[in-house]
Structure 1
């Protein structure tokens, strides 16, 4: 059986051919969930040229279901099904060598984080070439190199000869994701499994990656898309399967599921989507009211503790250049003459594509990076710029806090939640018992309890870790919190909970937020004003509602056009 997929790797894609036919799928592990299945009774079929989307919250079983189709559910997974056919063959009887032929030859896998998925010690050309060497026989080295360059062109990578010689860390996020897709489709697989392929990408790069997947669909390839972004799903999927707690709760043509959801969980997912219409309201409270034609009703957030007041943070003409031994005229300009203010009780959103200067701005504001030009003032005193040291910032450091995109990498994995919160309270010099009491209060403020104090970050879910990050950030009662993509890796439901939490805390304390995000819907939901960056320069700024309703800069218009829209369908289902 080890060669059963070799010929299929190069075979033309037959329209309508059934690639996956699964009925009654169950997946479990003896030492997890008391031995009870994590996935139960799932039916899944995928045809050539069709995109099927799996959606649902984290832990719903989406990725486990998808990985079972390529033999990667886990070494000790117990898989059962009434029917489990991959390209018409009974896959429950496959041995490992059979699955190795499936992976890359019949099905290509595209993961969320290309930087982690691509080998850091090999060029992307060698990475793509390995797929060809394994699944396409009889090629010479020159033919394989030409094929690598060809597939890189197919996914929209310009100058493939130069890019093939580069390593993953030398490429932008968009180029890395394209290289990962090129590796997945190099052997012309009939099926592409894309697991959150656009989650961490800005809207313009996201649109480019989705265009690559759409091109594969037009070529007759089947696509299984796993995503928590319902707008992305609306734009590309033919059918949607909604999973909740290991079971399918809703399924059908995309338009039917997203416009006429039948299950309360699907309705909740749709209602929890942020946007201009949800501003000032709790996303987690949203619900469909059938008696009113399916209208979404939300509860308002509490009124803000105080109106927008004086300036908390002022960045004037900040810039950052990297010469690396080159003449100044040839220096790389990461940020160029950018100015903005953040006032008491205000939320300033910063948007822009990868490389626009968002993170550089955040690092300069945080005092982690010294600007080449310009300066930052915090609470009326110089904070960063020429001649300002960390020693001078020290006393005010607790008044500026940070919420990262990935708390798991930001937290010390050896420290318990209690230790992490105690570190956040260090500046208050409290007695041990007072630290414990205050830590419990902080946990309660973010919807957790004292039982979490002894837990390690790795034992928490993504949403729980983000709540701990927020609790630690507010521990010192800061005047400003810098939020760098704080919800980009979270599913819709958990994202709604975290955004509600930030809204409640911000309303209660009046803490100012500098909110960086590539998700324009999230920015519309949370921010009072927005700053748009491109290539290190500010191209537009103003009240959020005005900028989104009537953008002036061409680049802002491009961002808004590129953003996926839940109301748009790629084609009639």
Structure 2
């Protein structure tokens, strides 16, 4: 194999007419059909599309990980210049690591919790005998960790995944993928659920690989991320390629209606007050020149709130003993945080990992006690010195929660009917009324009676999030705390869930505390925003003012770090 630095003359991947299917799925029909894919050294090719479009299945076929029973057919299927249609399992194992490295979405799940990250990175070197001596392997581990921007690699190599921040875990995963010097890196949603500054750091690491002549296949639903790093884009829908070409061409002049729909569904400050899922790009003549513009339907008008305080947070603080530090060494998670949420208001909270966002949300929910300060909910003492869960019990149904990952929050043994019954239990309804109300809730979130007996594992990500919203609304809450509720959803499903949340919130005058790392989502949804850094609120105010004219240097950094559809795409998205 030629080293990535010099760059092989031939394509790393050259595929024509790829189809992938399973005998037990889709009635035996292929899930991926007639896909062409070429990746050259130093080139980034992006696969985009919604969940279930075939992106990950296509990518995994390049390293023989399509899954048991996968039936692969292609006119041409060349990997590293070899016909992979005849590969044995041993051939694929030899390919993984030295030729191709895989970076998964969730580093905490992908990294072995029982091994240090150094041992994780060492595995590929030892398995493929890239370096034979232990000393050489340890030196290579430190070198590759430094290459991906992990500070103090000698110390970090002895830590476990749970001891690292999200950004450091993702970098460790990239280090493991590139340790053997592969010519190809396959990155499957590597920045999903990361805050914008960490996301920018991870993308910079991938950009450095490209500059060194490594080919990158990026799977992402984030078109802004794609626009900043990809040379070419392939858009997949229902297992087929519907659009492809140079990134600027696909994002500036989309050919297929589905690509246009994805671009139009991007949230932003400009989309406020409009239904994202209704957005479409239309062609219109302007001064005898044909141009593209986005048309969106307005959301129903919001019911004016009474101005009543729903939540008051006064000077809360939280500290922890620093693990591994001196006995009296403390870490400050929150310090003197105060804010108010009023009826029908949406208050957004943004900030990087470790800024205190989730700690604040857990204190508001009453799941964590503050060391100082207090919280009042609906004019009652809710959290603080002397407040117990027994004292909160009567008001508990009026505060609800929508998690980032409902699948891990729901009891997998329960049906949708049982999940909704739990939310309705405080109302002490009859069996018939409980069933009728459950059906009504499902219809409100665009599902229906057919979903009552389904279990969470059988639902798509968007369907699970709709069930989470229905359960949160069951008790007619005054406040819903939303912690990254759409970060793992693809663009169009995200648009549908946001439309649903905004419509129901307006109809019921429910207040939302919306925690997110996605500035565009917060800009689309929120009335006011709090910017958290190192446990402090460094800026707050009307979301349009804060995003348009940020006063604090950190807010400006967040804005500068957030990926955007640039150039002509930015103009198109703002039309």
Q: Please indicate, yes or no, whether the TM-score normalized by the shorter chain is above 0.5.
A: yes
Cα distance change on mapping 1:297 and 1:308 into 2, 3 Å: farther
Aligned residue for 1:3?
none
Give, in whole Å, the separation in 2 of the partners of 1:187 and 1:23. 28
Give, in whole Å, the separation in 1 of the partners of 2:557 and 2:504. 33
**Is this contact kept in 2: 1:13–1:48, CA < 8 A?**
no
CA displacement 1:494-544 (0-9 Å, x = unmatched): 000000001100111110000000000000000000000001111000000
Aligned residue for 1:450?
449
Q: Does 1:287 align with 2:280?
A: yes
SS in 1 for 2:217: strand
Aligned residue for 1:73?
66
Aligned residue for 1:306?
304
**Is this contact kept in 1: 2:101–2:182, CA < 8 A?**
yes
Give, in whole Å, the separation in 1 of the partners of 2:521 and 2:28. 39
Q: How does 1:154-553 map to 2 (within 5 A)?
A: 154-292=147-285, 293-307=291-305, 309-323=307-321, 330-553=329-552
Deviation at 1:13, TM superposition (A): 3.8
Give, in whole Å, the separation in 2 of the partners of 1:327 and 1:13. 49
Give, in whole Å, the separation in 2 of the partners of 1:162 and 1:329. 22
- Per the normalisation by structure 1, the TM-score is 0.97
Aligned residue for 2:43?
50
Deviation at 1:323, TM superposition (A): 2.8
**Is this contact kept in 1: 2:322–2:329, CA < 8 A?**
no
Cα distance change on mapping 1:507 and 1:16 into 2, 3 Å: farther
Give, in whole Å, the separation in 2 of the partners of 1:569 and 1:355. 35
SS in 2 for 1:319: strand
**Is this contact kept in 2: 1:334–1:355, CA < 8 A?**
yes
CA displacement 1:426-454 (0-9 Å, x = unmatched): 00000011000000000000000100000
The runs of 4+ residues in structure 1 deviating greater than 3 Å are 10-13, 324-329
**Is this contact kept in 1: 2:21–2:30, CA < 8 A?**
yes
SS in 1 for 2:311: strand
Deviation at 1:416, TM superposition (A): 0.2
Deviation at 1:100, TM superposition (A): 0.4
Give, in whole Å, the separation in 2 of the partners of 1:255 and 1:16. 25
**Is this contact kept in 1: 2:4–2:212, CA < 8 A?**
no
SS in 1 for 2:146: helix
Runs of 5+ consecutive residues of structure 2 not aligned to the other structure: 286-290, 570-575
2:10 corresponds, among 6, 9, 17, to 17
Cα distance change on mapping 1:55 and 1:324 into 2, 3 Å: closer
**Is this contact kept in 2: 1:13–1:221, CA < 8 A?**
no
CA displacement 1:141-191 (0-9 Å, x = unmatched): 111100000000000001000000000000000000000000000000000
Give, in whole Å, the separation in 2 of the partners of 1:324 and 1:140. 36
**Is this contact kept in 2: 1:353–1:518, CA < 8 A?**
yes
Give, in whole Å, the separation in 1 of the partners of 2:561 and 2:245. 26
Give, in whole Å, the separation in 2 of the partners of 1:11 and 1:496. 39
Aligned residue for 1:130?
123
**Is this contact kept in 2: 1:403–1:482, CA < 8 A?**
yes
SS in 2 for 1:290: strand
Give, in whole Å, the separation in 1 of the partners of 2:439 and 2:9. 57
SS in 2 for 1:205: helix
Cα distance change on mapping 1:100 and 1:24 into 2, 3 Å: same
CA displacement 1:99-149 (0-9 Å, x = unmatched): 001111100000000000001111000110111112344531111100000
* Residue correspondences, number: 563
CA RMSD of aligned residues (A): 1.4
- Per the normalisation by structure 2, the TM-score is 0.96
